[in-house]
């Protein structure tokens, strides 16, 4: 692999920023310092006026999800290419549910077998869809094999009840794993969905009406209490969307519990007024949890800026608009949930967070790269240090683009951020020292991505 010397850039990490050169050799960062001299034959990249950051990590994707007969548009290849153009060098994929009663490794084996075309590195979260004490024996070997986090749903058919979640939290914590939780109270959601499904299925606003903020807050409060009862088991809340949920998170963190949360760009930039227009247009924004009120948006930004929220992921789930309309058939509750976003996360957060709201560039890097790498055990990723893997993002803080679905690299037929004017875009991306994005050209290849065997969760987090 050719040596590369990136000169004249501003290196930005979670600890700070400084002007420096950075040299890549043999897939690793081999030197960092001022005025480095290029080795013979090295490729030179002048990063004058640009930011040099660790490659971003999206810790919540569904690049290859199937739900019944419906399948997302991307798949591993298109999804990974889109992720790379978004500045990501790694994703951690959340598999869907497997067959009823399947072992914990079933979906992990299936996804590994399907990921041969992945063009960037990837890890896999496990998924609990039931609890049986016999599963406890499966956990330690899986965590040791690099599957150091598992997901539990508190709604849907594959949900865990309180007894199951408590037992799973305790067993996973003892095995060195981190539990991630989709936090919506099932009794509230199913009750309201049944009522609104009868009275107003053709009204898009019935969707957020069936998943109120208090359903999220109650589920977070319950999960936090169960984690405490399980011996302070570590807990990570996915796609936090409400001010009410944020307050439950803050209370737990003030009490010293080991609980973290992510939010997503859609909950920072879009609001529930998008469900009040044309029905078919509104189907683009059907997701769980749904979009929220402007006051929730503002609260989540406060949570990012004050450190209450630890990461920004995407929950990228690219069911096409065409499929959403066809499967809904006039009933919002039949619409597949999820939106695409893996390609636009960084420009959205940089434009709104750094440029408009005063977020530091170091905090930006922490949210999109360093914190997810640390929490989810991506060893030697998420930072710019000699000896770390040479996952490098060269970011142009002045590049302006208008978001258009037709101009993105994902395989889906829309973006929820159509016509957003953004400043700050990825320019060049290196994965383990190999240039995979060069401006508007993809220079990587299918299958270059590797499975990441992640480290067990550490009490140092």
DSSP SS3 for 171: helix
Q: What angle do CA 379, 385, 390 make, to 5 degrees?
A: 70
What the block records as the tokens of 111 is: 């996804």
Q: Identify the pLDDT of residue 460.
A: 66
Residue ranges covered by each domain of the chain = 55-375
Select from 268, 273, 265, 275 the least CA-distant residue to 298.
268
Mean of per-residue pLDDT scores for the chain = 97
Q: Identify the pLDDT of residue 222.
A: 98
Q: Which residues contact 38 (CB under 8 A, 6 or more apart)?
A: 3, 5, 44
* pLDDT, tens digit, 9 for 90 and up, residues 333-380: 999 999 999 999 999 999 999 999 999 999 999 999 999 999 999 999
pTM above 0.95, yes or no: yes
b/e string for 45-82 if b means 16 or more Cβ within 10 A? bebeebbbbbbbbbbbbbbbbebeebbbbbbbbbbbbb
- Residues of the chain below pLDDT 50: none
Structural contact between residues 15 and 54, judged by C-beta atoms closer than 8 angstroms:
no
Q: What angle do CA 209, 211, 213 make, to 5 degrees?
A: 100
Structural contact between residues 25 and 433, judged by C-beta atoms closer than 8 angstroms:
yes
Q: Which residues contact 177 (CB under 8 A, 6 or more apart)?
A: 126, 139, 143, 147, 148, 149, 150, 456, 457
In eight-state DSSP terms, residue 215 is H
Q: Identify the pLDDT of residue 458.
A: 82
Q: Identify the pLDDT of residue 68.
A: 86
What the block records as the tokens of 275 is: 């469900």
* pLDDT, tens digit, 9 for 90 and up, residues 224-245: 999 999 999 999 999 999 999 9
To which CATH superfamily is domain 55-375 assigned? Answer: Metal-dependent hydrolases (3.20.20.140)
């Amino acid at each position: 692999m050719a040596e590369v010397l990136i000169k004249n850039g501003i290196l930005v990490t979670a600890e700070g920023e400084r002007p420096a050169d950075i040299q890549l050799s043999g897939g690793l960062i081999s030197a960092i310092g001022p005025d480095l001299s290029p080795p013979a034959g090295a490729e030179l990249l002048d990063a004058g006026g640009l930011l040099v950051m660790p490659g971003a990590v999206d810790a919540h994707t569904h690049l290859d999800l199937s739900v019944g007969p419906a399948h997302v548009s991307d798949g591993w290849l298109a999804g990974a290419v889109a992720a790379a153009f978004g500045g990501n060098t790694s994703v951690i994929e959340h598999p869907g549910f497997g067959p009823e009663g399947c072992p914990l490794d079933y979906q992990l084996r299936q996804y590994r077998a399907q990921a041969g075309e992945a063009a960037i590195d990837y890890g896999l979260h496990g998924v609990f869809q039931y609890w049986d004490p016999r599963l406890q024996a499966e956990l330690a070997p899986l965590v040791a094999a690099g599957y150091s986090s598992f997901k539990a749903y508190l709604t849907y058919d594959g949900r865990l009840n309180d007894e199951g979640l408590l037992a799973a939290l305790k067993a996973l914590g003892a095995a060195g794993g981190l539990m991630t939780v989709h936090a919506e109270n099932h009794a509230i959601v199913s009750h309201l969905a049944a009522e609104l499904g009868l009275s107003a299925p053709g009204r898009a606003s019935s969707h957020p009406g069936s998943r109120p903020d208090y359903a999220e807050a109650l589920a977070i409060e319950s999960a936090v209490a169960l984690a405490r009862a399980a011996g302070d088991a570590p807990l990570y809340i996915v796609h936090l969307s409400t001010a009410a949920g944020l307050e439950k998170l803050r209370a737990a963190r003030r009490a010293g519990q080991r609980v973290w949360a992510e939010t997503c760009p859609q909950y920072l930039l879009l609001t529930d007024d998008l469900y009040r227009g044309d029905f078919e247009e509104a189907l683009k924004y059907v997701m769980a949890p749904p979009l929220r009120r402007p006051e929730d948006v503002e609260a989540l930004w406060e949570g990012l800026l004050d450190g209450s929220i630890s990461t920004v992921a995407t929950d990228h789930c690219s069911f096409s608009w065409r499929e959403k309309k066809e499967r809904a058939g006039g009933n919002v509750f039949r619409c597949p949930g999820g939106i695409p976003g893996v390609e636009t996360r960084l420009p959205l957060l940089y434009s709104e967070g750094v440029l408009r709201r005063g977020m530091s560039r170091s905090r930006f890097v922490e949210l999109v790269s360093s914190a997810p790498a640390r929490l989810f055990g991506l060893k030697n990723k998420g930072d710019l240090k000699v000896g770390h893997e040479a996952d490098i993002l060269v970011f142009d803080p002045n590049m302006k683009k208008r978001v258009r679905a037709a101009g993105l690299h994902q395989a889906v037929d829309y973006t929820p951020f159509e016509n957003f004017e953004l400043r700050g875009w990825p320019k060049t991306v290196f994965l383990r020292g190999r240039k995979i994005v060069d401006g508007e050209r993809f220079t990587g290849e299918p299958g270059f991505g590797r499975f990441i065997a992640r480290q067990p969760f550490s009490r140092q987090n």
